[in-house]
Structure 1
Amino acid sequence: MFATWPATSHLYPAAPLAWALQSAGHEVVVASYPALADTVVAAGLTAVSLGATADTAPKASLPDDELDGLAAALGPGPDEGHLWEFFRHRILPVLSFHYPGRAPDAEQRAMVDDLVSFARDWRPDLVLWDPAFLAAPVAARACGAAHARLMWGLDYFGWIRERCARLAARPGGNPVGDPLVRLAEPMHRRFGYDSDEEMFLGQWTVDLMPPGMRLPLDTRSVSLRAVPYQQTSVMPPWLRERPERPRVCLTLGVTGRERFINSGVPLSEVLDMMSGLDVEVVATLNADQLASVGQVPSNVRTVDYVPLNQLLPTCSAIVHHGGFGTFAAAAAQRLPQLITGALSAWDRGVAMATAQYVESRGAGLAMAVEGFTPEVMRKHLLTLLHDPSLGEGATELYHDLLATPSPADIVPVLEQLTARARG
């Protein structure tokens, strides 16, 4: 059983592993909120709907004075500030809506009860769960299944757990406590369980992040190659023809489409930057993203949606927000990448890690949010198109991915770990 947060960007990275397990003869289901059911079915997988449709927009989190006290006690270093900011302002508000520290509300309780009830009836051997879906380890324990996290990005959860454990080990202990425990403990207690380490980090972790991008954490991990998957569609006729000029993809990713938040960089300026270049730009932008854009340059084609695995083989370069799924799709096609967190208003920490990794492998260029200008982006894009060393680096990055175990490769590993965990 896969248990995932109701977001397309969380499902897509898991789909290839689900297919590999199905192809090996295992029964596979994907449990989530009803909002994700159609997307699960479209991916060729069996959906199990839980509770009511969820509003995944960030809500109010724990009290600010508690979080300020924890931040002061943690003292995140200069290279960790973005981790704390994302954990505080993105992850905790979402978790506080679904796993409130106060008395559980009806919607959250229905989802957890549905998941536990289904797990007890269906009795999975293994639960692979989204780290943001903290009801899943409860369900696994309730039915006696082995369980592991399936990462979709940086391990903010492991990071905060390690930092809080270090605080607790100091003289005087941790005066503030662990915010994950604060939110999830009422759910654990309702089912008679302690809030132990497995309830937050699983019995092991399946990690899609390349080793060079991971946070330096002491977690038991199984590496898995990121195999790109996007929603399928009929190939448009214009994609069948070879482009007359170098084609460049501009995308803000799946999350940018589903939860568009103004990043502070006007898209109109980004598109104007492309004007006059001897390139054909394909910008995968929907109506919400284009609402503030006036005149689109003549060399820019805007499309509401086209799967990257159809578009990128025809491209010479890609400009994107640093999302992990987009990175993996570009790496699979050996494309030089221009990445900037200035195009991302959701997770600039992941954008930073992705950009730094791509640049360190000589496979592209990174642009910091600070001092971002369309003029500098234009200069970087021209370098991307004309510097052959970046294409060579993109090929090396592709071979790095090939050296990581594929979904089919880790199926026997998961079988062995599951048998061992279940005794």
Structure 2
Amino acid sequence: MRVLFISVPAAGHVFTLVPLAWAFRSAGHEVLVALAERPEWAADAGLPVVDVAPGYDAVAIAKKVFEDDPEFAKTWYRNVGPDRDISPRAPMFAGFNRPLVPGTMEVVDQWRPDLVVYEQTTTVGAMAAARLGVPAVQRNLGPFTTGRTHQLTAGLLSDLCAEYGVPAIPRPAMILERLPPSMLHARPEGGFMGGHSYDGGGVLGGLWRQRPQRPRVVLSLGGGFSARFFGLGTLPPVIEAASKVDADFVLALGKVDASALGTLPANVRPADGWVPFGELFRTCSAVVHHGGANTVLTAVEAGIPQMVALDPQDVASEAIGQDVRDRGIGLMAPADEITATMLERLLEDETLRTATAEVHTEVAGLPSPTAVAAELADLVARL
């Protein structure tokens, strides 16, 4: 069986597809990834990948969407419907998907997959499956529901749908939630999948191989898009609070230039390049982050509490923060209101660790990527 994985080029979106792609390959199926801008994210995971839109620039696309629709730009950051329905954000998703369509359709026509797997904002994945008449699987990203996102986005891409003969977008054969049941705010749209999160590989120095005696806390903005798009504005107040805490803090920003942060306090140091979060978090006592679902679950896997530093520009950070807080696995606060006392609580409050352990057990009990891949192979065989 041939399985095509498709994602917009954001690390957390791509990485959430990798474990299932590995499971299909391990079971003997052919796997291909259609991606743009950062094809190395898939290649570094050992997956064959096609760059379907050379020259793609997600940040430039987002800025162009805002320039073309100033009214949408004013409401985009808070533009979600009831039950955290992201369909009001369709104009942005259309912007991200439009450049991906021609190259993706070329891959689809040449490779002829039997199954298409895409993440929640990649409408081109739903379009590709509809064009071929093959089943599709949607991987959700975290706290949001889909609603009519793909129908509205496809409507904004109607010229391309007509050009490539894409019929109406059907419901996917399966939807896989990213967060476990106890963390979902809205009613689940589909099933669940456990297993370890994927967060890239890297060469580990001695510093990251063991937990130090002094508490170590990670400060992160995820895989890079949030830092590039929203900027580093949430970090200075957190760093200021960190300077007053008896702990070491590691800035894990990957390849993002942190020079704009200026001189760092003695107890705050940048990591050297990309460090896999899973390995880093296991040597730490807590993490403060931007509110990405991958980061949330990587912290859960490491058994450490977390704090979501809210960015007023990013509705996702507030939604994830609410889920983290309500489940009891961490704290949330606007970044500019985070204090040393809050960071000390993050390190000392055992109830946060207890709840984290509960969610860790919950995730471990969910169907594995291997089991989900087998179920999907059976589904395709029956069609």
Task: State the 1:95 CA deviation.
Answer: 1.6
Q: 1:188 aligns with which of 139, 144, 161?
A: 161
Contact persistence 2:217–2:249 (CA under 8 A): yes
Q: Is the alpha carbon distance of 1:295 and 1:406 closer, same or farther for their aligned partners in structure 2, counting shifts above 3 Å?
A: same
Q: Is the alpha carbon distance of 1:154 and 1:393 closer, same or farther for their aligned partners in structure 2, counting shifts above 3 Å?
A: closer
SS of structure 1 residue aligned to 2:319: helix
Q: 2:237 aligns with which of 256, 263, 269?
A: 269
2:8 paired residue number = 5
Given the alignment of the two structures, is residue 96 of structure 1 paired with residue 95 of structure 2, yes or no? yes
Q: Is the alpha carbon distance of 1:396 and 1:212 closer, same or farther for their aligned partners in structure 2, counting shifts above 3 Å?
A: closer
Larger Rg belongs to: 1
2:177 paired residue number = 207
1:360 paired residue number = 326
1:165 paired residue number = none
Unaligned runs of 5+ in 2: none
SS of structure 2 residue aligned to 1:248: strand
Q: Is the alpha carbon distance of 1:256 and 1:142 closer, same or farther for their aligned partners in structure 2, counting shifts above 3 Å?
A: closer
Equivalent residue runs for 1:222-371 within 5 Å: 222-225=191-194, 227-256=196-225, 259-262=228-231, 264-265=233-234, 267-285=235-253, 288=256, 290-303=258-271, 304-342=273-311, 345=313, 347-349=314-316, 351-368=317-334
- Length-normalised TM-score, structure 1: 0.78
Contact persistence 1:159–1:215 (CA under 8 A): no
Give me the identity figure in percent.
28
Q: Within 2, Cα distance between the matches of 1:366 and 1:207?
A: 22
Per-residue CA shift, 1:181-226, capped at 9, x if unaligned? 43122222223343x341xx4333222222344463584x231126
Task: State the 1:66 CA deviation.
Answer: 9.0
Unaligned runs of 5+ in 1: 100-107, 162-177
Q: Within 2, Cα distance between the matches of 1:305 and 1:244?
A: 24
SS of structure 2 residue aligned to 1:48: strand
Which structure ranks higher in relative contact order (CA pairs < 8 Å, sequence separation ≥ 6)? 2
Q: Within 2, Cα distance between the matches of 1:150 and 1:407?
A: 12
- Length-normalised TM-score, structure 2: 0.85
SS of structure 2 residue aligned to 1:408: helix
Q: Which amino acid aligns with 1:317?
A: A
Contact persistence 2:328–2:351 (CA under 8 A): yes
SS of structure 2 residue aligned to 1:381: helix
Q: Is the alpha carbon distance of 1:389 and 1:401 closer, same or farther for their aligned partners in structure 2, counting shifts above 3 Å?
A: same
